[in-house]
Chains A and B, each alone.
Chain A
Amino acid sequence: MSEVHIDAAGHAEPSFSTKAIWKTFWILLIITLVELVLAIVYYETHFLPKHFLNGLFVIGTLAKAFFIIAEFMHLRHELKNFILSLVFPSLLFIWFLIAFLWDGNSYRDLRNKYDSYHLEQSKTPAAKKPGVE
């Protein structure tokens, strides 16, 4: 990061380090492999509660997103002004997620409460369709 490269447009930018690229690659690969192993082990043996695993998967995903944006897209090496201009609008996602997932959950609860036919239907095992495993 100490090395600064002046490009033709006159902007000073730290140059890319091949070592950092490969380090990021290994981090991404290891996170993905861990997620996969947990998912497959859960499928075979139902090891660990699913809600706990989902939490791990979300954390893994956010970590991967951070490394892709910071290193591959080089955002970590841009000016703080610019980083904040992207981070602040992205905070809307927090509201977006909470509001909509909450709403979906509330819809399910209300429907189960007031539409007993729907609740009964959603608890009845379906007959196996021909030609499908």
Chain B
Amino acid sequence: MSQVAQAGQKWWSGGKSPYNLEYGKLMMWFFLMSDAFTFGAFLISYGSIRFASNSWPDPNHVFRSFPVIGEMHIPLAFVSLMTFILIMSSVTMVLAVAAGHNNDKQGVIKWMFWTILGGLAFLSCQAWEWTHLHAERAWWGRNPFMNIDGTQSSTNFTNFFFTITGFHGFHVFSGVVINIIMLIMTMKGTFEKRGHYLMIEKAGLYWHFVDLVWVFVFTCFYLL
């Protein structure tokens, strides 16, 4: 790596960029850092409320339904599908970034298209899940589910679930909008004229972050 060869240089004495990173990418990273603390605050407050409760609903019971095939009772199957869709769309996003590195316009268009499709599929799944839970009378301020030990549960569970997955879903939605704009700009040849596809990389960072947050939401709400 070229970086190793340069080790030992005085990075912070001026005259060169100590990060060797393009400005927009650097700012995207710092934005994601602040967003990570926002999500961290949400999830940690969820954790501290859960630690403060004597009992809590069982996720395997709450999230047991799967659409279309007669709402079968398979615990966690549907959310696994959502997780798979999001990981898959993260892969297609990296492939778009890789194509951008090679200035391969058709490749970028193809992979951005699949990424957008994955994002839309995830949002549709989440819309179904919310609708289904709402039909079971779960919503902000009301919780039809018992605690795992059969005692009365508070509304903390539903309040946190809808707030945090909603906030994450909103991030996915903005990611899809950003990706659509990137796709249009690619098709119009904006990046080709510019000579580089750095914008795709910035959109990619945001999209992977959304996937990263989902990994934590998935663990906190469905597994623990």
Contacts and interface: CB of A to CB of B under 8 A. Distances in A.
Interface of A: 1-2, 4-5, 7-9, 11-12, 14-18, 21-22, 24-25, 28-29, 32, 35-36, 39-40, 42-43, 54, 57-58, 60-61, 64-65, 68-69, 71-73, 78-82, 85-86, 89-90, 92-93, 96-97, 100-101, 103-105, 107-108, 111-112, 119, 121-126, 128-129, 131-132
Given A54-B224, A61-B219, A123-B151, A40 B75 contact: yes
A57 B76 CA distance: 14
Contact of B1 (A8, A14, A42, A57): A14
A93 B40 contact: yes
B127 interface: no
A68 B212 contact: yes
A86 B29 contact: yes
Contacts of A79: 3, 11, 18-21
B51 A65 contact: no
A11 B20 contact: yes
Interface in B89-130: 90-91, 93-95, 97-98, 101-102
A121 B88 CA distance: 45
A18 B83 CA distance: 22
A57 B58 CA distance: 16
Interface in B1-42: 1-3, 11, 18-22, 26, 29, 33, 36-37, 40-41
Contacts of A57: 219, 223-224
A94 to B, nearest CB: 11
Q: Binding site of B, secondary structure by majority: helix, strand, loop or mixed?
A: helix
Contacts of B58: 43
A96 to B, nearest CB: 6
Contacts of B145: 132
B139 to A, nearest CB: 14
Nearest to B136: A132
Contacts of B223: 35, 39, 54, 57
A111 B49 CA distance: 13
A1 B1 CA distance: 6
Contacts of B36: 90
A114 B208 CA distance: 46
Contacts of B55: 122
17 contacts: A11-B22, A16-B98, A18-B95, A18-B98, A25-B87, A32-B83, A35-B223, A61-B219, A65-B216, A69-B208, A72-B211, A79-B11, A96-B44, A101-B44, A104-B47, A126-B150, A132-B136
Given A16-B97, A93-B40, A32 B208 contact: no
